[in-house]
Structure 1
Amino acid sequence: MPINKSPAVNKFGVISFPYGEEVLKFNFQNSSKSHKSRSLLLIREKFILKFNQTQNPVEKKELLEQARKNILRCKRKLGLSSLGLGKHVHLPFAWTEVIYLAQCKGEIQDEALGMLYASLDHASFDYDHLPALFFVAESVLYRLCCDAFLQEFLYSVEIKLTKIGYLIFLRLFIFFLHGQLRSFKEHLLRLQPYSYALFASGESYHKYPNIFSNVQFMLKTLQIICEKELYSESVFSTVENTGRFANTESDTAHLQCNDGGYELNPLLWHCVAAWFCVLSNSPQLNSVLEHLILHKMQLQKKCWLDLVLALLVLGEAAKLNMTCLKTLMDLMRDFVLSIMSVEKQDEEYTGDDLSWAGNVVHMYTTIIAEICLYAATSDLRKAAFIGLYGCKCARKDVFLMDKSEQPELQETSILSLLEFFSSKISDNCDQVVWIGYYGLVYNLVKMSWELQGDVEEDGFGNMIWQTLQKTKDYEKDARILNAIHIAQAELNDRSDPFTRYSRKVPSKAKEEVFSKYIGWRVANALSKLLFPPPDVRVLPLKKPAVQQDQMKYLNKKQESTKRVLHFTVREHPSLSELPMFPYPDFFTKADKELAKVIDYHWQKEREIQQREDAICEAEEQKEKELQEKKHFEKVMKQREEKLHKQTKPYELPPRAEVISLEKKTTHKNTGVSMPESSSTENVKIATFMLGELSHN
């Protein structure tokens, strides 16, 4: 169900376009010749208007099929299954095409924004991405300022646009720290008018911290990069650090910039140093973390953009190291207690003065939720959710019915913060309290959805589900219950925000609800900036231009050597139905080659084993036959000794021996001797009678 946002009226019946074709040419300035030969964009304004306005069912089906093919092509160009790596990946072209596809109403819009969010999350930092990144940034700001802000209700796609905007401006800020935005002043000038619209519409999102923090992050980033790039000649520059962590006290030498440039927060520097120590397994990690705690008061400054980056980088280190997790939780505990004490004691810090603190707390709730889901070990995930010491609220009811009982904030795990904030929530509570409580509940809903179907994390999912059910039963504050409704609408009830009717869009695939990789990308980029390896570029710079004569020579040489047939989805529609496998990276190829080597040696060893088994079997058979022969000879020898016979058992003797033996036996039995002549005559008579019978 859409949530009422502000009593505004949408004046735009048709989606407008912020760019013409001439503005889009920047996307192909660094593209190859094959992309230049094609049309500037396959998704044209005419196609989008026709897709959104047609009422003919047959034509609508054809346009939907064409848009679906474009979605498949964009998935391949984005490299969603290979983390943006592979020869088939072309991120600037794909980002531009996807942001145009996102203006098609319905399921195409929702899927295109989901693809763009996933790509911006895991894509690497490359200088060649900047033109397309500025184009996507202006397109998202245009959609927010000219369409979404004027909507009467809050929609899930509007939330997704702010999340995409957060990732875009986070990337732009990292490029700004590397000093790579100096040649993009024209693009920055085009973004400036949107900052005024963002600032004016901030009040409409004040009661939705998940959106408000993203909008505030975009505003703060625009303010910093425009001020430093448009109104000054210098930008952030680091002094070469020769001693690494040898002198951690003199951080200002590495953080100060010349000629009024950007000054990096010491806390951020120490967080990046901690990440570097975790990756390199450095023994100086404990020393760096001790100095990091000394700079915890830096969290009370209003340069909260650096503080958000510091928490993001330290959160990535906490996913790998328990000491870093403990430092992160101690840092946030001191921050929450100090901000709440300042808000109560000092009257100057009221209203919008502490809105930055709410943004920092909300960012922390997202970071700690990501640690619970994606940390390297189960101990880290358990500590982030329950606590380092197995907090008491894991064994008792988290929600206290008696609000007069005020628990102390011992640590900032999810359950500890939930117990602390729930005990202090009220209509006149501190702003940090209800924003932190809102962020915890909002992220718990997304965590529960993320763990659906995971059998290995079934117990963890059940604990989160029970916590949410208790929140629904015991909590009566409308702001906290609103967090549950917004998170559920974002995950399960995605609707088109730019139509006058609400239509559910079925989700065919599970989309990413957390940014899994951007923290890792940011931490690596900042570590290369502050602690660069020798003779290694910090970020990939623009590729040197190749002379036209040389390009012609290379093209002629390629044409003369071989001819390649290129098949496209447009020419062969059946190819769009084929599954797209991820392009194998170096480690995948190495694993395949290693498997081949192992299989080859295994076959050789198997053949050798078979030959040895055959030889052993032949020897055993020969030995068995020899034993049988010896046994037979032994039996025959015993037979000859006892019976005085040389015949085998059960073998009849020759005929002559039988007759002589019968004669002897008969003579012995009767005792009568027959004359030899009479016996001979009897034999002759018997023979004659047999002859006569046979003749007759």
Structure 2
Amino acid sequence: MPILKIPIKHYLGIVSQSQQKDFKKRYRKRAEENDTARTSSVRRNPFETTEGFVEKYNQAQGSKEQEKYENLADVFLIRCKRRAGFISVGEGKHVDLPGAWTQLLLLSLCNGQVRNDSLDVLVVSLDHAPIHADQIPVLFHLAESIQYFLSSDTTLSDPPSSYKTKMLQLGYLVSLRLFIFQLTGNLNRHQLSSIYLHSLKGLLKCETRYQEFPNMLFSVHFMMRVGEVLCGLKLTEDTSVQVSVEAQEHGVNQVLRQCLFSYHCVQNNGTRLSQVIEQLMLLRDKLQQDNWVDCGLGLMILGEAAKSSMPCLQTLMSLHMVQTQESTQEMASQKASWPWQLEHMYCTILIDICLNSYCAEMKKTALIGQSNFSPCRCSGGLLTLLKQSHEDKWRLRYSVVQGLAQISRRITLSESLRNIAWITLQKHLNQETDPRIINAVRIIESEWITRRLAHTLSKIWPPVQLATHSANHRHRMKTTKPRKEAVSTARTGEGCPEQPQIITKDAPKTPRQGKHGPSHLDLRTRTDIDLIKVVEDQWQKELKKMMEREEEIEKTVLEKRKQEDEETIMRKRMEKVKKNTKPYELP
């Protein structure tokens, strides 16, 4: 039969006041013990990174437990890769992007190689992962942490390093995603914290620190400008904060909308692409007057369309050529020139087309330009930007030098393209007098997030005016998604985007993909890819032989050194005790 516990109530006041206090202490103590037992029974996931683990990891450096914690950190990193969908391009049932990004940010606080590896994984994941509204809270957490790190006195006092470059690139990607959510209206129900505003104001101190490094300074300016749009404020040098009317009335930019129309036409074989391009050319003055973040985002989407459309590539170069001619004719007036941040984004877009376009003709045009493109001398390619010798254009030449170094080192590109980039780079460095450009050695890989943001924004703002498409519209829509996923899987490994053609051979076949791979790969390209794989295999074999040979040599040297030490001991013993026997050895 069940046991019932009947509570005892002292109605007659038999128990004294001191006994009541004693009873209350016992009951309170028993309740605390029960709560402790209940909480101790809950076990924490052993493969989850915590702040305690980071503290223990850093304290174990140089001790006997260092190897133990390094192995644990490697296990945590592998788990974070899986949760971030590192191989599956951020998609799958096992993917938890907010949790993975939080864990990777904690791992980046560890010292040593784990810090760089976790940052590499975090940058790649933020670059190629899908864009969903559930990422907003963790994005603000990342933004606050990055901005606090960059504005700290310790960071500002130390010289620029690869770790700071990765943090700035991470801040750029986080701010870009937040800006997209702002454009789509997903941030309306999210209230910004005072911590974000305080860390944003701290970035003002970074401007003077990175003046000689345009790529790093651009990331700082991008984070600040996006933060002003999100907060509806204007940051000033003093402690006061001004209300920005432009940020409060922020909407969809006309240049951005027309670039989205052009991307939509290219993706869906739209028949009105020429009309969209004409309207975009009429808005070329907006690129000099409007917010450079909005215009830069539009140019990024237009550049994504230019990877497979020659008219879009010509339009992109025409917009820059027109403003270059106007600024040359009106040198005294600065109204006709783009902001240097927009120039930097334009250069980055051309580099991305040279590295990741689907057509060899697009790559060549983006690098060299077209001789019959315009009656003027400048052809609009990447090499033309090196001819701008004006003092104010040194940041643009800095970006071009970085891009040419990237192109010359990409082995998956054609040899002729790499040779042109290398020869031009060496000639320019021999003639360049600015030491800031000569020392431009920090190379930043091109970002793939443009494909994600272009695809996302085109879904949110469907161009109603462009409803007329060609007959094979449905067929094109079916083949777009597998092709995108196949190309996006190239971002694996150490965070460097490889040429899309290598990965597409193992991707699921689409109606446009035949027996030997995608149709845009010709025989020579496939042969080059196979040759690269053979060379890599042969190099691995040679490397293994070299390591075995070095181990044998090292073993021989150790044995020889041991023998020499024994001979030296015996010689000293002979000199002291006049015996040629070893110690503790009977004659």
- Decide which structure has the larger Cα Rg and report it: 1
Give the 3 Å change call, closer, same or farther, for CA 124–68 of structure 1 in structure 2: same
User: Residue 292 in 1 paired to residue 280 in 2?
Assistant: yes
Aligned partner of 1:222 in structure 2 is 227
CA distance in 2, matches of 1:37, 1:91: 23
Please say if residues 151 and 205 of structure 2, whose CA atoms lie closer than 8 Å, have aligned partners that are also in contact.
no
User: Residue 175 in 1 paired to residue 135 in 2?
Assistant: no
Aligned partner of 1:435 in structure 2 is 395
Please say if residues 228 and 261 of structure 1, whose CA atoms lie closer than 8 Å, have aligned partners that are also in contact.
no
Tell me the CA shift for residue 203 of structure 1: 1.4
Aligned amino acid, residue 60 of structure 2: T
Aligned partner of 1:346 in structure 2 is 333
Please say if residues 362 and 436 of structure 1, whose CA atoms lie closer than 8 Å, have aligned partners that are also in contact.
yes
CA distance in 1, matches of 2:401, 2:173: 22
Tell me the CA shift for residue 88 of structure 1: 1.7
CA distance in 2, matches of 1:115, 1:374: 21
Please say if residues 47 and 75 of structure 2, whose CA atoms lie closer than 8 Å, have aligned partners that are also in contact.
no
Name which of 376, 379, 387 aligns with 2:369.
Answer: 387
Q: How is 1:274-423 mapped onto 2 (pairs within 5 angstroms)?
A: 274-339=262-327, 344-346=331-333, 357-389=339-371, 410-418=378-386, 420-421=387-388
Tell me the TM-score normalized by structure 2: 0.67
CA distance in 1, matches of 2:142, 2:369: 40
Please say if residues 333 and 412 of structure 1, whose CA atoms lie closer than 8 Å, have aligned partners that are also in contact.
yes
CA distance in 2, matches of 1:185, 1:69: 36
CA distance in 2, matches of 1:43, 1:529: 36
Aligned amino acid, residue 204 of structure 1: R
Post-superposition CA distance 1:161-184 (Å, at most 9, x none): 111111111100110111111222
Aligned partner of 1:190 in structure 2 is 195
Name which of 198, 208, 211 aligns with 1:206.
Answer: 211
Please say if residues 57 and 110 of structure 2, whose CA atoms lie closer than 8 Å, have aligned partners that are also in contact.
yes
Aligned partner of 1:71 in structure 2 is 77
Q: Which structure would you say has the larger RCO, counting Cα contacts within 8 Å and 6 or more residues apart?
A: 1
CA distance in 2, matches of 1:523, 1:116: 21
Please say if residues 192 and 231 of structure 2, whose CA atoms lie closer than 8 Å, have aligned partners that are also in contact.
no
Aligned partner of 2:494 in structure 1 is none
Post-superposition CA distance 1:554-588 (Å, at most 9, x none): xxxxxxxxxxxxxxxxxxxxxxxxxxxxxx99x96
CA distance in 1, matches of 2:153, 2:82: 30
Tell me the CA shift for residue 531 of structure 1: 1.0
Name which of 434, 439, 461 aligns with 1:530.
Answer: 461
Give the 3 Å change call, closer, same or farther, for CA 126–462 of structure 1 in structure 2: same
Q: How is 1:460-471 mapped onto 2 (pairs within 5 angstroms)?
A: 460-471=417-428
Tell me the CA shift for residue 148 of structure 1: 6.2
Secondary structure (helix, strand or coil) at the match of 1:81 reads coil
Aligned partner of 2:408 in structure 1 is 448
CA distance in 2, matches of 1:37, 1:295: 61
Please say if residues 409 and 416 of structure 1, whose CA atoms lie closer than 8 Å, have aligned partners that are also in contact.
no
Tell me the CA shift for residue 199 of structure 1: 1.6
CA distance in 1, matches of 2:220, 2:341: 10
User: Residue 44 in 1 paired to residue 44 in 2?
Assistant: no
Give the 3 Å change call, closer, same or farther, for CA 410–469 of structure 1 in structure 2: closer
- Unaligned stretches of 5+ residues in structure 2: 1-41, 235-245, 465-502, 515-587
Aligned partner of 1:502 in structure 2 is none
Please say if residues 300 and 339 of structure 1, whose CA atoms lie closer than 8 Å, have aligned partners that are also in contact.
no
Aligned amino acid, residue 228 of structure 2: Q
Tell me the CA shift for residue 443 of structure 1: 1.8
Tell me the CA shift for residue 147 of structure 1: 6.0
Tell me the CA shift for residue 345 of structure 1: 1.6
Post-superposition CA distance 1:33-86 (Å, at most 9, x none): xxx985599222222222223344421111111111111111111111111111
Name which of 499, 507, 514 aligns with 2:446.
Answer: 514
User: Residue 120 in 1 paired to residue 76 in 2?
Assistant: no
Tell me the TM-score normalized by structure 1: 0.57
Give the 3 Å change call, closer, same or farther, for CA 141–320 of structure 1 in structure 2: same
Give the 3 Å change call, closer, same or farther, for CA 461–590 of structure 1 in structure 2: closer
CA distance in 2, matches of 1:441, 1:282: 36
CA distance in 1, matches of 2:182, 2:233: 9
Q: How is 1:623-642 mapped onto 2 (pairs within 5 angstroms)?
A: none
Tell me the CA shift for residue 462 of structure 1: 2.6
Tell me the CA shift for residue 87 of structure 1: 1.7
Tell me the CA shift for residue 319 of structure 1: 0.5
Post-superposition CA distance 1:166-223 (Å, at most 9, x none): 1111100110111111222144x32111121112321111221101111111100000
Post-superposition CA distance 1:451-482 (Å, at most 9, x none): 14x3x623322322222222332322212112
CA distance in 2, matches of 1:120, 1:41: 22
Give the 3 Å change call, closer, same or farther, for CA 588–370 of structure 1 in structure 2: closer
Give the 3 Å change call, closer, same or farther, for CA 472–75 of structure 1 in structure 2: same
Aligned partner of 1:268 in structure 2 is 256
Secondary structure (helix, strand or coil) at the match of 1:411 reads coil
CA distance in 2, matches of 1:118, 1:185: 28
Please say if residues 220 and 305 of structure 1, whose CA atoms lie closer than 8 Å, have aligned partners that are also in contact.
yes
CA distance in 2, matches of 1:51, 1:155: 23
CA distance in 2, matches of 1:339, 1:221: 27
CA distance in 2, matches of 1:228, 1:526: 25
Tell me the CA shift for residue 341 of structure 1: 5.3
Name which of 401, 407, 416 aligns with 1:459.
Answer: 416
- Unaligned stretches of 5+ residues in structure 1: 1-35, 230-255, 393-406, 491-512, 534-583, 596-696
Tell me the CA shift for residue 382 of structure 1: 0.8
Please say if residues 319 and 371 of structure 1, whose CA atoms lie closer than 8 Å, have aligned partners that are also in contact.
yes
Secondary structure (helix, strand or coil) at the match of 2:74 reads helix
Give the 3 Å change call, closer, same or farther, for CA 359–74 of structure 1 in structure 2: same
Q: How is 1:126-137 mapped onto 2 (pairs within 5 angstroms)?
A: 126-137=132-143
Name which of 96, 99, 105 aligns with 1:93.
Answer: 99
Secondary structure (helix, strand or coil) at the match of 2:232 reads helix
Identity %: 33
Tell me the CA shift for residue 137 of structure 1: 1.5
Give the 3 Å change call, closer, same or farther, for CA 61–185 of structure 1 in structure 2: same
Secondary structure (helix, strand or coil) at the match of 1:153 reads coil
**What value does the CA root-mean-square deviation take over the aligned residues?**
3.3
Tell me the CA shift for residue 435 of structure 1: 1.3
Please say if residues 326 and 388 of structure 1, whose CA atoms lie closer than 8 Å, have aligned partners that are also in contact.
no
Secondary structure (helix, strand or coil) at the match of 1:486 reads coil
CA distance in 1, matches of 2:199, 2:377: 40
